[in-house]
Amino acid sequence: MITKPKGCHDIYGIEAKKWKYVNNLIDAVCERYNYQFIRTPIFESTELFHRGVGESSDIVTKETYDFIDRGDRKMTLRPEGTAGVVRSYIENKMYGEASQPVKLYYNGTMYRYERPQSGRDRELTQFGIEVLGSDDPMIDAEVISIAVNIYKLIGLQGIKVNINSLGDKESRDHYRKALVEYFTPHIDEMCEDCKNRLEKNPLRILDCKVDCDSEIMKKAPKITDYLNDESKKRFEQVQKYLSLLDIDYVVNPKIVRGLDYYDHTVFEIEAMVEDFGSQNVLGAGGRYNSLVKELGGPEIPGMGFAMGLGRLMLAIEKEDIKLPIDHSMDVFVMYVSDTEKDYATTLVQELRMNGFKVDTEYTGRGLKAQFKQADRLNSKFLIILNDEDLKNNEIKVKDNTTKEEETVELDYLMYYLDEKLSLEEECDCGCDHSDHECNGNCHCHDEDSIEF
């Protein structure tokens, strides 16, 4: 038997509906913030990720899926979304558009060759946002707020934002020098990765997962002590805007992130998820003011964030969050004879084209089995076709909840079902869908009408 590759998953059934709900919520939030969807290729030139993500990052050195195509070109399955978005921004000259900054979001598959574990896969789905064309600290706070609000809307508790500043180039140069001086006498006590990072990018040592709890790491110099006045002022402004947005945050000097392109603001967002392990980070991001120029574009500032949806779905499962997903079907059409089946074929199509969620029988089961199938599909109404009724231009409709049955004229069927289903969807808690007193039991909270 052929099986799926290691570190990959099939998503279907109820789980697929949960993913769809979360994706719809993400789309709704981005719409409110005026972010536009962008889709970039799943594979790109290997050079893009080596230049964009950084030669010293774990993603490039250990985790990329690289291949040579039939044109003898070096290609890589995208391991993250930012580099591809920035490449598109440059190639399509979005920096020349009248409306600035350019605010984009993506939601797609990424590939990383790493050891599969809970919440970390080789094929992963990642949602991210990128803002290009503004260095305003208010944008930093807005990007963080989008991530926080998505987590809160889903129902996660104990959201915690850890922020730090890597400062400008001058600040980082001073800090790099201090790190080299500090770590050099201790480097033989550290892992091989840290030894390699000492000369290439000493900031990456602070992101080490092997030596993170060692005394050497705990006593390492802090970047906040090396920020120049301009970088300090900028970081204070970011914190001011976060406070204005009523976002709780903690300044954590250990946050450096695993990619080489970050400067100034970097952040990680945690949620207090039970049994989630020691690593509660659900999403992270930061500012990258030199990346556009590094990839061949003009000197344009950028700010972004990304979250793994697989990890988010795991958090939803661990916290037993009940997503308001509608599992019901509007109508199930039942028949027995061939002539009834012919009519069912056209009726189902007509109902679907009029906006109803409809299914029918496809396996030749009798009426008794069709009733059971309708129950399995949570169908609200049943249409029971009968040759004699059809000759009289009539049709039987049964409420599958009350079990009441009515004979309806065919010409009136659409109006009848529309009226009945509208009554079914009225709010159980008595709100009028325009106030904020709803207790969440009504139809206005399904994935097609996400309330903020």
Along the chain (452 residues), what's the average pLDDT of each consecutive run of 10 residues? 92 94 97 97 92 60 86 94 95 95 97 81 94 97 96 92 92 85 79 74 72 74 89 96 96 75 90 73 92 93 95 92 93 96 96 96 96 97 96 96 95 94 64 39 44 58
d(CA 360, CA 352): 12
Give me the CATH code for the 13-168+228-318 domain, please. 3.30.930.10
Q: Which CATH class is domain 330-427?
A: alpha beta
pTM: 0.84
Report in angstroms the alpha-carbon separations of 298 from 2, 73, 114, 170, 365: 48, 26, 34, 21, 66
What is the predicted pLDDT for the residue at 444?
42
pLDDT of amino acid 451: 59
Do 265 and 286 meet the contact criterion of CB atoms below 8 Å apart? yes
Q: What is the pLDDT of residue 182?
A: 85
Contacts of 143 (CB under 8 A, 6+ apart): 129, 131, 285, 303, 304, 305
Structure tokens at 226: 């090396």
CB 81 within 8 A of CB 106: yes
Query: What is the predicted pLDDT for the residue at 430?
Result: 43
Q: Give pLDDT, residue 42.
A: 96
Question: How confident is the model at residue 426, as a pLDDT?
Answer: 58
Domain boundaries defined on the chain: 13-168+228-318, 330-427
d(CA 380, CA 391): 26
Residues in a beta bridge with 359:
332
Look at residue 445 in the predicted model and tell me its pLDDT.
Answer: 41
Confidence at residue 187, expressed as pLDDT on a 0 to 100 scale:
77
Tokens of 282: 């659900």
Residue 446's pLDDT is 46
Helix 137-154 with 229-244: angle, nearest 10 deg = 40
Cβ atoms 55, 88 nearer than 8 A: no
Whole-angstrom distance, CA of residue 352 vs CA of residue 358: 6
